[in-house]
């Protein structure tokens, strides 16, 4: 009880968090806590009004982030985080909207919602915590599991090629695409800040260590070993061709890959709405 | 105490800001990210056991921290926070 009170009283990020739910239930060394910290820091540095902020999360370990943030937040059904966020954006275009979810939620069951939201360029910030497997259900093989790595459902090594999430987002038409690891805390915070200020469909992939479920089957005995591995294999290259930025166990290219401007869905919708209204008025007057 | 923390001596570097370093001991789950990635190796595992049965970090010496804030950002448990010390007030007190 004393620890929670100290956290509520003194921690600078406590005003953005539902402190009564802390300490959180994520495993020792999980990257999700770091992502939550970076997100709250980005909110703090931008001085975003949390009454105007909506965070949507899907199913998975990172899905609990909606319950930990002290703002209007939704924990949706499996894979439908972006679908619900699309509805929120169309209902109220003045809100700051962020979707924080996992790789299994956004890219396996919710894959179609993701590519079509990116194609339409709906104004939202999507942060994907990529932990390489379905962590919450026991570490099954997912669409982002690197080739030849071990999971509970691939005990002799994975033979499926993984998704290259940044290439997928860039090809589908996202205006801002970046990839960081949970180790690059300063750069990740800066990237989230940049994404929250930009208009359009922004995608940030965060490679997050999953020591308990993924790590222990792939020769990472402790969380810190997984973090050291991220430090060794990650390479910062801004503006790199996302099609070549595949994640392997030997190399992870991180950085900002795409940063372009494009009219968003709501802007086009608003223009079209005004145009149709004028046309109808002329017709009625005539 | 692990051997890796013993092997690293504290690096002396110019302070970025004057801070007081705090840890909420019962929040710590013992991932040791703060100890590993501190740029000046100012932290080590303490001898204490918290409610989760792990050794929370502690400062090796009071003036070892340079106030960069990396441990605060990298802690997944929100267990570390830095309290800014107003240096102007301190100087006024000295006068």
Going through A93-249 in order, the beta strands assigned E by DSSP cover 96-102, 124-130, 133-134, 140-141, 176-181, 201-207, 234-236
Biggest CA-to-CA distance, chain B:
46
Tell me what pLDDT residue A178 has.
Answer: 96
Query: What are A184-239's pLDDT values in tens digits?
Result: 999 999 999 999 999 999 999 999 999 999 999 999 989 999 999 999 999 999 99
* Average per-residue pLDDT for chain A: 93
Q: What is the pLDDT of residues A233-281, one digit of tens each?
A: 999 999 999 999 999 999 999 999 999 999 999 999 999 999 999 999 9
CB pairs under 8 A between A and B: 75
Contacts of A14 in chain B (CB under 8 A): 78
pLDDT at A286: 76
- Please choose, from the candidates A256, A220, A261, A221, the residue with its C-alpha nearest in 3D space to the C-alpha of residue A240: A256
Q: What are the start-end ranges of the E strands in B3-79?
A: 19-23, 43-45, 57-59
Answer whether B27 sits within 8 Å of A22, measured CB to CB: yes
Q: Does domain B3-94 have CATH number 3.40.640.10?
A: no
Whether B77 sits inside 8 A of A23 (CB atoms) is yes
Nearest CB to A224: which of B24, B33, B70?
A: B33
In terms of CA atoms, which chain A residue is nearest residue B27? A23
Closest residue in chain B to residue A231, using alpha carbons only: B37
Q: How far is A3 from chain B (nearest CA, A)?
A: 6
B69 Rama sector, left if φ>0, alpha if ψ -120 to 50, beta otherwise? left
Query: Is A28 within 8 Å of B29 when comparing Cβ atoms?
Result: yes
Domain residue limits, chain A? 2-285
Residue range A138-174, pLDDT digits in tens: 999 999 999 999 999 999 999 999 999 999 999 999 9
Indicate the length of chain A as a whole number: 286
B6: exposed, middle or buried (Cβ count in 10 Å: 0-12, 13-18, 19+): exposed
Q: Which residue has the higher pLDDT, B11 or A63?
A: A63
Query: If we measure between CA atoms, which residue out of A103, A238, A101 comes closest to residue A179?
Result: A238
Residue reference for tokens 């924080």: A100
Q: Which residue in chain B is spatially nearest to A30 when comparing CA positions?
A: B76
Name the residue among A58, A209, A90, A212 with its Cα closest to residue A139.
A212
Write out the two tokens for A30. 């999980």
User: Is B75 in Cβ contact with A37 (below 8 Å)?
Assistant: yes
Q: Which of A8, A29, A182 to mutate to test the interface with B (most CBs of B within 10 A)?
A: A29
Direct distance between the N- and C-terminal alpha carbons of chain B, in angstroms, rounded to an integer: 42
CA distance A145 to chain B (A): 23
ipTM of this complex = 0.86
A2, A185, A228: residue with CB nearest B73: A185
Beta carbons of A228 and B24 less than 8 Å apart: no
CA dist B31 and A152 (Å) reads 24
> Which residues are within 8 A (CB) of A178 and not within 5 positions of it... i.e. 6 or more apart?
A166, A191, A195, A203, A204, A205, A255, A256, A257
- Give the pLDDT confidence score for residue B4 in this predicted structure: 52
Interchain CB distance below 8 Å, A29 and B29? yes
Return the CATH class of domain A2-285.
alpha beta
Residues A6-26: tens digit of each pLDDT:
888 889 999 999 999 988 999
Distance CA B85, CA B59 (A): 17
C-beta separation of A149 from A218 below 8 A? yes
Using CB atoms within 10 Å of the CB of residue A70, give its burial: 0 to 12 exposed, 13 to 18 middle, 19+ buried.
Answer: middle
What pLDDT does residue A186 have?
94
Q: For the segment B25-78, what is each residue's pLDDT rounded down to a tens digit?
A: 999 999 999 999 999 999 999 998 999 999 999 999 888 899 999 999 999 999
Distance CA(A267)–CA(A277), nearest Å, equals: 15
């Amino acid at each position: 009880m004393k620890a929670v009170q100290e956290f509520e009283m003194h921690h600078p990020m406590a005003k953005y968090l539902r402190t009564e739910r802390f300490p959180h239930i994520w495993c020792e060394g999980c990257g999700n806590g770091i992502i939550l910290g970076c997100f709250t820091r980005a909110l703090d540095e931008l001085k975003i009004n949390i009454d105007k902020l909506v965070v949507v999360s899907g199913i998975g370990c990172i899905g609990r982030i909606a319950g930990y943030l002290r703002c209007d937040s939704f924990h949706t059904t499996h894979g439908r985080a972006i679908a619900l966020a699309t509805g929120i954006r169309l209902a109220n275009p003045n809100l700051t909207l962020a979707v924080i979810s996992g790789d299994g939620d956004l890219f396996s069951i919710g894959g179609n919602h993701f590519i079509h939201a990116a194609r339409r360029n709906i104004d939202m910030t999507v942060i994907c915590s990529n932990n390489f497997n379905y962590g919450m259900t026991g570490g099954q093989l997912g669409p982002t599991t690197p080739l030849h790595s071990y999971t509970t459902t691939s005990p002799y090594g994975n033979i499926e090629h993984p998704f290259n999430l940044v290439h997928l987002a860039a090809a589908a038409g996202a205006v801002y695409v970046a990839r960081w690891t949970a180790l690059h805390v300063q750069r990740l915070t800066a990237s989230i800040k940049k994404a929250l200020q930009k208009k359009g469909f922004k995608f940030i992939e965060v490679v997050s260590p999953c020591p308990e479920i993924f790590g222990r089957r792939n020769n990472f005995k402790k969380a810190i070993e997984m973090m050291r591995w991220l430090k060794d294999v990650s390479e910062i290259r801004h503006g790199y061709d996302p099609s070549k930025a595949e994640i392997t166990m030997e190399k992870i290219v991180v950085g900002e890959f795409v940063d372009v401007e494009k009219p968003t869905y709501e802007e086009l919708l608003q223009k079209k709405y005004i145009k149709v209204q004028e046309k109808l008025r002329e017709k009625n007057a005539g | 105490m692990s051997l890796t923390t013993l092997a690293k001596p504290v690096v002396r570097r110019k302070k970025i800001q004057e801070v007081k370093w705090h840890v909420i001991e019962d929040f710590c789950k013992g991932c040791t990210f703060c100890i590993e990635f501190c740029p000046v190796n100012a932290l080590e595992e303490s001898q204490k056991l918290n409610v989760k049965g792990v050794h929370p970090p502690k400062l090796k010496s009071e003036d070892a921290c340079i106030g960069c804030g990396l441990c605060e950002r990298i802690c997944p448990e929100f267990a570390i926070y830095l309290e800014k010390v107003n240096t102007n007030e301190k100087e006024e007190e000295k006068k």
